Amino acid sequence: VRKLAVVPLILVTIVGCTFILQESRSESGLTGIESGLVRGYFGEPISNLSEADLTAFNAGYDLFVKTWPASRLSARNADSCVSCHNIPMPGGSGTDQASLVQVQAEVPPKNRERVLQRLGLTSRNVHRGASVIRTRPLFGLGIIEASGQQRRQSLIGSFGQASTINDFVEVALANELGLSTSHYCARRSVELSYPNECLPEVSDQQVKELAAYIRFLAAPKFSSGKKVGESIFEEIGCASCHVRVVTVAEGDLNYYKQNSFDMFSDLKMHKIRGRWPIRTAPLWALNFFGPPYMHDACANSIEEAVLCHEDEGANSVKRYKQLNVKQQEQILDFLKGL
Amino acid sequence: MRRIFTSLFVLLQFGTAHAGGSVGDGNRFAMLTYWGEDKVALVDTQGEAGKEEVWSIDVLKTAGCAKPYDIRVNSSGDKAYVSCSGNSLIAVVDIIAQQVQFTFPTGQSPRDLQLFNEGKNLIVANSGSNSVTVYDLGKKDSASLVLEFPVESQPYGVAVVNGGKTALVTGWASGDLHIVDMKLGNGPSDSSAKEKTVTPVGMLPYTVVAPGDGKVAYVAANSIHSVVVVDTDSGKELKKIKVGNNPWSLAAAPDGNSLIVTNNRSDSLTLLKTGVAVSSSGDGDKTISAGEQEQPNGSSVKRAPKNASISKDGQTAAFTDLANNQLILVDLKSGLIKKVINVGKAPYGVEFIR
């Protein structure tokens, strides 16, 4: 089993482009914790921000927690970002029914307007063919954005549908809060054949500030000492996708350059459940963001989340089931301690 | 072996004190929730350094209680009520037997709790289902729903005043304080609630308390870095008191004359003089540094105060620190930290057994 598990790890290392998948430090010798990019608890900005960026972060926080009156006038899912992103702090995940959304299953993931409705706000059943998507936490998203820049790939969002946090914010404002931005209005004017007046409800400056808040939210701190569980996690193949260390070598943002993070994600798209491939979810602070767990909220416990993996994750699940009870508990203790 | 003897000694002391009706005189033992570990713990704040935790229960494994958030202890000190924010339950912990006695369902994602009517009723803010529920705790092994009413949006904090007839509820996502008149009967069919006023207080109000005679409520308005003072009869805002950054919780002294505020992102506490039925502030208020914790590599991490509780004698405040997973004891007279206790991951709720 150990040998089998090594094969995908080697493959990922080879194909890993500019990512350095290692358990050592980055070229600068810094880990995320030491550089202040990972903080003690959730909701803090990274610690080495310039004065201008810290000002933008704080302004973005105010917008993030703000209730938008215009949302109440439109077909919207919420009237504030924190309506869904709140566990365990603003910027976090959503765990109750109202923070689960349905997305169309019959459209390509790149389509920008996929969200149908939040669950819990309606008595209607789930739309035919729709998938349920759980609100993902935003902590450390700046690292994922920087990684995307390094790879020249879109990594933001469950389906990797946005390449920058600014783009992600604009889509979320339109889809979830029913708020228009200048880009949204420009797109609408092209799509609609009849005259349409569209005035941005959120200014470009506000979009930038919201993006700054999300970009500079510190990543969760890795604290597990459960080495045995991690070894078994690697042996049964989980680590071939949930790769522990991600190192950002390049990118537009200086803060994240040449730092390593215990993210437990290869940040690649994999088919796990449902129709569309999804980006491997980082496992940092996994236990803080549920229940429910998984992108489609299929699991009410971490063990159920392990067992929920299908398709590309099926082999690892098979190996997990072959472990004895003690080994399974060691893996779960390791995951819970992240 | 030594640890076992120490634990037995503490338990014996706890049991003896409890038999006498005053557990540690209300100044020694505290109950905590470890949100990040799904545990509930009893801590002896005067225990030997490093051995203060008397016991802890994995409430997820033993009772299906995920993400324990708030905790309230009854006046006899033998039962603790825990909101299981991850799966919509209340866990009732038998403190003497060190086990979950029973659980009962609530609305979704329950947050703050308050015992009232001399511990006969429990009120729960259900943040995930925009509701507040009230339970009758009269039976030994069960609780029954007495009243449920809606509150928009995402209720987090809750308090009860006016002899159990008025509920104060914070709307976390709508940034307001709801004052609701309650009429409690034997069950939902003969109970009712009527919203009297809604007062805007600023976004993310986590906690509300109404010390003393309950005529004045204090709300921790997280996003505007203030404690908002509201008249509980009229709903009128009386004052906005600027405190540290992102105040999260409030804890009143048993005599109602002071209030401690945990400023989550400015590494400090604010001690407000409240008085009975008076919304005063200014003279006598003080800011207390929450300090830093030195790390093994020589660096230090500033504390992130979450919840607090004040001892029965009003001399000690205990607050939980999310950044370092610690319980910190502060001497309120001097404003100095007098003890630091390492506890479980993400300690959220804390209450002295008074």
Q: Give per-residue pLDDT as tens, A146-174.
A: 888 888 888 888 888 788 999 999 988 98
Q: Give bridge partners of residue B125 from the DSSP assignment.
A: B132
Q: Does B189 lie at the interface with A, CB-CB under 8 angstroms?
A: no
Mean pLDDT over B80-87 rounds to: 94
Mean pLDDT over A278-295 rounds to: 89
Q: Confirm if B249 and B207 have CB atoms less than 8 A apart.
A: yes
How far A11 CA lies from chain B's nearest CA (Å)? Answer: 35
Q: Give bridge partners of residue B81 from the DSSP assignment.
A: B72, B92
Contacts of A129 (CB under 8 A, 6+ apart): A104, A105, A106
**Residues B223, A41: C-beta atoms closer than 8 Å:** no
Say if residue B66's pLDDT is above 50.
yes
Tokens found for residue B92: 């009732």
Say if residue B300's pLDDT is above 90.
no
- A9 vs B77, residue with greater confidence: B77
Contacts of A223 (CB under 8 A, 6+ apart): A337, A338, B345
Q: Which helix (H) or strand (E) holds B329?
A: strand B326-331
Report pLDDT for A1: 38
Q: Which helix (H) or strand (E) holds B110?
A: strand B110-116
Question: Mutate which of A39, A44, A67, A79 to disrupt the B interface (most B C-beta within 10 Å)?
Answer: A67
Cβ pairs A/B, distance under 8 A = 64
Q: Does A223 lie at the interface with B, CB-CB under 8 angstroms?
A: yes
Rounded Cα–Cα distance for residues A313 and A273 (Å): 9
Q: Of all residues in chain B, what percent carry a pLDDT higher than 90?
A: 72
How far B19 CA lies from chain A's nearest CA (Å)? Answer: 38
**Residues A223, B345: C-beta atoms closer than 8 Å:** yes
Residue from the list A67, A97, A223 with its beta carbon closest to the beta carbon of B175:
A67
What is the ipTM, given to two decimal places?
0.81
Confidence band for A191, pLDDT divided at 50, 70 and 90: low
Exposed, middle or buried, B248 (CB in 10 Å: 0-12/13-18/19+)?
Answer: buried
Mean pLDDT over A39-67 rounds to: 89
Report pLDDT for A129: 54
Q: Give bridge partners of residue A97 from the DSSP assignment.
A: none
Report pLDDT for B340: 95
Q: Does A67 lie at the interface with B, CB-CB under 8 angstroms?
A: yes
Q: Does B345 lie at the interface with A, CB-CB under 8 angstroms?
A: yes
Q: Confirm if A268 and A280 have CB atoms less than 8 A apart.
A: yes
Compute the Cα dihedral for A200, A205, A209, A215 and give only its sign.
positive
Q: Of all residues in chain B, what percent carry a pLDDT higher than 70?
A: 90
List % helix, strand, coil for chain B (3-state, nearest 5).
Answer: 10, 50, 40
Q: Of all residues in chain A, what percent carry a pLDDT higher than 90?
A: 34
Q: Confirm if B309 and B287 have CB atoms less than 8 A apart.
A: no
Mean pLDDT of the residues in chain A: 78
Q: Does A86 lie at the interface with B, CB-CB under 8 angstroms?
A: yes
Whole-structure pTM value: 0.85
Residue from the list A61, A80, A291 with its beta carbon closest to the beta carbon of B86:
A291
Report pLDDT for A8: 42
Report pLDDT for A225: 63
Say if residue B349's pLDDT is above 90.
yes
